[in-house]
Amino acid sequence: MTLTSKPADAEPTAVGGPGATDVERAQKRGPGRDPDVVGLGRGRASLFVAPALVLVGVFLVFPALWTLYLGLLDYSLTGASAQSPTFIGAQNYTDALSDPAFTKALYLTLLYVGFSAVIGQNILGFLLAWYFRTAPRAVRTTLNVLVLLAWILPGSVVAFLWQALLDRRDGILNTVLQTTGVAWTNDHPMAVIVIFNIWRGAAFSMLLYAAALNTVPTSHLEVARMAGARPWQQLRDVVLPTVRRHVLTNTLLITLWTFNDFTPFLLTGGGPNHESETLPVYIYSTAILHGDLGYGSAISLLLLLANLVIAVFYIRLLRGGDDGSLKAQQRAERKARRAERAVAT
């Protein structure tokens, strides 16, 4: 709803002037003017979207509200409060915000997301796509298969393979490095799950960036080369501006996925001593293992809110980007007009 109402309400009056671009005119022609573009009529149009809305309502809106409601109860899997939960207001929510375990889990989640997704998967995915863009077909295919394998294997299988890799006694890593008895998951739990997630998720970024890099016009790159731009300069001034939106979309997606990722549990179980207990793992251990369903629901809702904040942040960035380039265009046009006037006088 905010999406459709935004252009009509927030548009500054100056933009609609004679200097308006095609883009702006297209935006002006929003639903406010002629909502029935297809000619279906309100009733039939509603009929078409109804199934989708029902699905969204049943599987997204309702569970979210349900979680909110459960979070207000002193509700547990066992004990007396399983039989007759009592309403305790916002206590679960206030408890969570002052709970050091929650704050720690949130901090670890941010570390996990920041290092494994935003930095790790993004950069590794981009580099793979960039360096293998010009590689021979056979090399590219082999690489694609290898990277995709990490992505398409079921999480439980992958976790089992990694346990075999990192095992303290007969692990592959200890054998290769000839380090006996190093307990990788106990000594460096966060590093282990960060590296694991980079390895697992880089495939998605690579695919997305490989597609994005194809949209960079070769002519632009040739011009840049002729102007003497070094590879780094080509990357910075030609490639990155073109794929900027892809970078944001990719970062948005992998951030949200990683934020809700439960796979660390399969590797470290949140341990040792909560050292790798990210929010989804914390929710699982609170709600399911310790049976504290009300409190678990409250944290789940906070996790949902954190997701929303991230999503809104990225969407703002994406849209802000449009406004920015528009403004720059307007500035350039104004400058040109001023120059014209100066020439005329």
CB-based contacts of 209: which residues, under 8 Å, 6+ apart?
125, 126, 128, 129, 130, 243, 246, 250
Establish if 75 lies at the interface with other proteins (CB under 8 A): yes
Nearer to other proteins, 44 or 338 (CB): 44
Establish if 57 lies at the interface with other proteins (CB under 8 A): yes
The 255-294 site mask, x for binding other proteins (CB under 8 A), equals -------------xx-xxx--------------xxxx---
Which range, of 170-178, 180-188, 195-203, 256-264, touches other proteins by CB under 8 A? 180-188
Site for other proteins in 184-213 (CB under 8 A): 185-186
Q: How far is the CB of 245 from other proteins (least distance, A)?
A: 29
Alpha-carbon distance values, 30 to 35, 48, 114 (Å): 7, 20, 37
Q: How far is the CB of 75 from other proteins (least distance, A)?
A: 6
Q: How far is the CB of 163 from other proteins (least distance, A)?
A: 9
CB-based contacts of 275: which residues, under 8 Å, 6+ apart?
108, 189, 190, 268
Task: Report d(CA 252, CA 309) in Å as an integer.
Answer: 11
Residue whose tokens read 């989804």: 280
Alpha-carbon distance values, 238 to 144, 230, 281, 329 (Å): 25, 11, 42, 18
Alpha-helical (H) ranges within 132-188 are 137-152, 155-166, 172-177, 184-187
Q: Which has the closest alpha carbon to 242: 209, 267, 275?
A: 209
Give the bridge partners for 87, in sequence order: 73
Nearer to other proteins, 21 or 78 (CB): 78
Under rule CB under 8 A, how many of the chain's residues touch other proteins? 33
Establish if 66 lies at the interface with other proteins (CB under 8 A): yes
| C-beta neighbour count of 165 within 10 angstroms | 16
CB-based contacts of 90: which residues, under 8 Å, 6+ apart?
72
Q: How far is the CB of 265 from other proteins (least distance, A)?
A: 10
Nearer to other proteins, 169 or 341 (CB): 169
Establish if 155 lies at the interface with other proteins (CB under 8 A): no
Distance from first CA to last CA of the chain, Å, rounded? 49
Establish if 80 lies at the interface with other proteins (CB under 8 A): yes
Task: Report d(CA 15, CA 33) in Å as an integer.
Answer: 17
Member of 8, 82, 90, 164 binding other proteins (CB under 8 A): 82
Member of 33, 51, 84, 145 binding other proteins (CB under 8 A): 84
Residue whose tokens read 């809106």: 61
Establish if 83 lies at the interface with other proteins (CB under 8 A): yes
Establish if 183 lies at the interface with other proteins (CB under 8 A): yes
Q: How far is the CB of 66 from other proteins (least distance, A)?
A: 6
Kind and range of the H or E element at 312? helix 293-344
Q: How far is the CB of 2 from other proteins (least distance, A)?
A: 11
Nearer to other proteins, 13 or 83 (CB): 83
Residue 195 phi/psi, 5-degree rounding, is: -65, -40
Establish if 160 lies at the interface with other proteins (CB under 8 A): no
Task: Report d(CA 251, CA 205) in Å as an integer.
Answer: 9
Q: How far is the CB of 260 from other proteins (least distance, A)?
A: 21
Member of 7, 19, 30, 85 binding other proteins (CB under 8 A): 85
Q: Which residues bind other proteins (CB under 8 A)?
A: 1, 5, 57, 61-62, 65-66, 69-70, 73, 75, 77-80, 82-85, 168-169, 183, 185-186, 268-269, 271-273, 288-291
